């Protein structure tokens, strides 16, 4: 005799609780969820920083903080989860660099896209630490209005998702490639430190490639976070396939994006012990 046969009331209670859970979950996902995912690259204004160091006897101990960081590249796209669909709808990939655009033009273009999806969530890696403070500084310097998502100064605003904070909680925040490599997500066609050299050399093609690759990685991590935290009821595998295919189709000449489709599949097929071996 099974436990259910011995305790029919308990089995019925469990079935009822499962039904209530499914009803609550279904109601939770009745509305579409739109995220505007972004990545930015920066150049440091070392001349101004040196003047500051001299004037103030360097209270930052050499740490060049965000007021001296200037936008030189940006990439972003929308990802919309629609109830009942297993994979999200993906918008076009936007990218701008200092080759053709000033800092204010990059910021204005991004803010205009955020304004269009005014109810959407801004998703980033480390946005609260750098991207959003810099964006607010640029808007105040050049006198243009910020989108609704950046008007809320609460660092835990529901209008923004900083994955660095959200995935860490009170644990020490990891770097993007650190988290990505640990979880089998393709990241960084060139090391992070090389981006600074590319900026100094005005290799905007390399800077753009890095920004787009980071956008891909952040999109995958955003999708995983959204599914795990019940922000959507989409399925993980078709979602990752859709994102990887979207980038591979947009950049067919990119070895990084062509390989990303296969690397994600390989990572899903392996136990975690193989990923760190």
Write the pLDDT tens digit of every residue in 152-204: 999 889 999 999 999 988 888 899 999 999 999 999 999 999 999 999 999 99
* Other CB atoms within 10 Å distance of the CB of residue 38: 25
Is 70 domain-assigned? yes
Q: How far is CA 130 from the centre of its chain?
A: 13
Domain that holds residue 147: 31-275
Is 11 domain-assigned? no
Is 242 domain-assigned? yes
Is 96 domain-assigned? yes
DSSP string, the chain: --HHHH-HHHHHHHHHHHHHHHHHHHHHTSS-EEEEEEEEEEEE-HHHHHHHHHHHT-TTTT---GGGEEEEEEEEEEEEE-TT-SS-EE-PPEEEETTT--HHHHHHHHHHHHHHTTTSEEEESSIIIIIHHHHHHHHHHHT-PPPHHHH---TT-TTEEEHHHHHHTTSPPPPHHHHHHHTT----SS-HHHHHHHHHTT-HHHHHHHHHHHHHHHHHHHHHHHHHTTS----HHHHHHHHHHHHHHH-TT-HHHHHHHHHHHHHHHS-HHHHT-
The list of the chain residues with pLDDT below 70 reads 1-8, 19, 21-29, 271-277
Residues 6+ apart with CB under 8 A from 194: 206
* Other CB atoms within 10 Å distance of the CB of residue 206: 19
Is 4 domain-assigned? no
pTM of the predicted model as reported, rounded to 2 decimal places: 0.87
Tokens of 198: 């590319």
Q: How many domains does the chain have?
A: 1
| Cβ-count burial 143-163 (b if 16+ within 10 Å, e if not) | eeebbebbeeeeeebebbbbb
Q: Say if CB 186 and CB 259 are below 8 A apart.
A: yes
Beta bridge partners of 38: 76
Is 244 domain-assigned? yes
Give dist(CA 253, CA 259) in Å, integer: 11
Is 10 domain-assigned? no
pLDDT of residue 129: 94
What's the CATH code of the domain at 56?
A: 3.30.420
Is 17 domain-assigned? no
CA quadruple 240, 242, 247, 253: dihedral sign? positive
């Amino acid at each position: 005799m099974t436990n259910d046969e011995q305790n029919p009331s308990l089995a019925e209670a469990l079935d009822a609780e499962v039904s209530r859970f499914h009803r609550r979950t279904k109601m939770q996902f009745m509305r579409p969820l739109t995220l505007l995912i972004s990545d930015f690259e920066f150049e440091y204004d070392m001349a101004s920083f040196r003047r500051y160091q001299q004037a103030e006897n360097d209270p930052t101990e050499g740490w060049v903080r965000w007021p001296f960081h200037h936008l030189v590249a940006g990439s972003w796209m929308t990802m919309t989860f629609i109830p009942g669909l297993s994979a999200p709808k993906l918008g076009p990939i936007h990218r701008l660099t200092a080759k053709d655009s000033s800092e204010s033009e990059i910021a204005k273009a991004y803010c205009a896209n955020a304004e269009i999806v005014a109810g959407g969530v801004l998703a980033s890696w480390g946005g609260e630490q750098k991207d959003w403070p810099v964006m607010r500084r640029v808007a105040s310097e050049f006198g243009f209005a910020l989108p609704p998502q950046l008007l809320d100064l609460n660092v835990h605003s529901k209008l923004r998702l900083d994955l660095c904070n959200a995935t860490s909680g009170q644990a020490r925040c990891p770097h993007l490639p650190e988290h990505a490599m640990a979880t089998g997500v393709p990241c960084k066609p060139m090391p992070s430190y090389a981006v600074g050299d590319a900026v100094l050399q005005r290799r905007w093609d390399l800077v753009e490639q890095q920004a787009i690759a980071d956008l891909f990685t952040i999109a995958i991590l955003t999708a995983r976070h959204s599914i795990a935290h019940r922000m959507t009821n989409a399925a993980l595998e078709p979602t990752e396939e859709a994102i990887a295919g979207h980038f591979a189709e947009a950049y067919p000449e990119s070895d990084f994006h062509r390989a990303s489709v296969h690397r994600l599949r390989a990572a899903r097929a392996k136990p975690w012990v193989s990923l760190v071996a």
